[in-house]
């Protein structure tokens, strides 16, 4: 039988991933891997937390897995306490006062909206910076170097065109990961363009 906390962790993993967070285990932390990074079972002076959230490399909050906890307000509704790392704000889930509950829920929603707006503004600024750099030097920002060679790309394209093999078989034959084959399959034009940008 699966423990309720494991079910909650699987749901939290899914929600964080769907929202664009990069999930990492505590033994392989790279808090600058993305705008939002969630590290599982991170050790803090007060003990391990289920998830420590980093925004742009800075600790921003903690999530504790609860049985039916889907959202921050859901955790609070179950009597859980939500504590922010940066400014030390604490939201008490045990309160029964409707006014305090409304204030708590409004502040949580405001913090979530602020974080989302900041992430979108950062992405937009990054896009503008990349475009400005490309104007003078087309090779200034080429994006991530493809994890596949021209030969692997040709093999994947040919096998996909023939329709004789599935993704796993193509991955095995080409020496690529299944995810890379899916990425190439999903946008063949961009896959070719990435090779061209890198002169491959």
CATH number of the domain that residue 181 is part of: 1.10.10
In contact, 42 and 31? CB cutoff 8 Å: no
- Average pLDDT over all residues of the chain: 78
User: Measured at the alpha carbon of residue 116, what is the angle toward residues 110 and 117, in degrees to the nearest 5?
Assistant: 90
Burial 179-189 (b: 16+ CB within 10 A, else e): ebbebbeeeee
pLDDT of residue 88 exceeding 70, the answer is: no
Between the CA atoms of 33, 34, 38 and 40, what dihedral angle is there, to the nearest 10 degrees?
A: -20
Examine residue 10 and state whether it is found in any structural domain, yes or no: yes
Examine residue 112 and state whether it is found in any structural domain, yes or no: no
The better pLDDT of the pair 167, 105 is held by 167
- Same structural domain for residues 155 and 88? no
Examine residue 99 and state whether it is found in any structural domain, yes or no: no
pLDDT of residue 91 exceeding 60, the answer is: yes
Tell me the mean pLDDT in the region 8-37: 81
38 beta partners: 23, 53
94, 112, 139 - which closes a domain: 94
94, 109, 141 - which closes a domain: 94
pLDDT at 69: 41
The number of beta carbons lying within 10 Å of the beta carbon of residue 74 is 13
Q: Tell me how far apart the alpha carbons of residues 154 and 150 are, in angstroms, rounded to a whole number.
A: 6
Whether the predicted model's global pTM rises above the 0.85 cut: no
Tell me the mean pLDDT in the region 90-104: 70
Give the pLDDT confidence of 99-129 residue by residue, as tens digits. 777 776 776 777 777 777 787 888 888 888 8
6 in helix, strand or coil? helix
Number of domains into which the chain is organized: 2
How far is residue 132 from each of residues 88, 122, 126, 195, 196, measured CA to CA in Å?
A: 39, 15, 10, 22, 20
Identify the weakest region by mean pLDDT among 82-86, 111-115, 171-175, 185-189. Answer: 82-86
| Residue 195: HSE in the Cβ half-sphere, 13 Å Cα cutoff | 14
Give the pLDDT confidence of 29-83 residue by residue, as tens digits. 887 888 888 888 888 777 777 888 888 888 877 777 655 444 555 545 555 566 6
Examine residue 31 and state whether it is found in any structural domain, yes or no: yes
- Same structural domain for residues 157 and 85? no
By residue range, what is the domain housing residue 54?
4-94
């Amino acid at each position: 039988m699966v423990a309720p906390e494991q079910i909650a962790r699987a749901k939290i993993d899914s929600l964080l991933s769907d929202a664009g967070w990069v999930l990492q285990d505590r033994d392989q932390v790279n808090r600058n891997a993305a705008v939002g990074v969630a590290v599982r079972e991170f050790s803090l002076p007060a003990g391990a937390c289920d998830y420590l959230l980093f925004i742009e490399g800075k600790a921003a909050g903690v999530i504790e897995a609860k049985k039916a906890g889907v959202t921050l307000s859901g955790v609070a509704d179950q009597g859980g306490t939500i504590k922010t790392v940066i400014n030390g704000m604490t939201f008490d889930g045990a309160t029964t006062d409707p006014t305090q509950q409304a204030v708590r829920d409004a502040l949580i929603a405001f913090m979530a909206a602020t974080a989302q707006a900041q992430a979108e503004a950062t992405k937009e600024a990054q896009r503008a910076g990349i475009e400005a750099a490309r104007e003078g030097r087309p090779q200034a920002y080429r994006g991530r170097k493809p994890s596949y060679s021209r030969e692997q790309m040709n093999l994947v394209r040919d096998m996909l065109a023939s329709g004789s093999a599935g993704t796993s078989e193509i991955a095995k034959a080409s020496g690529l990961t299944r995810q890379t084959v899916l990425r190439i399959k999903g946008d063949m034009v961009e896959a070719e363009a990435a090779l061209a940008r890198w002169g491959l």
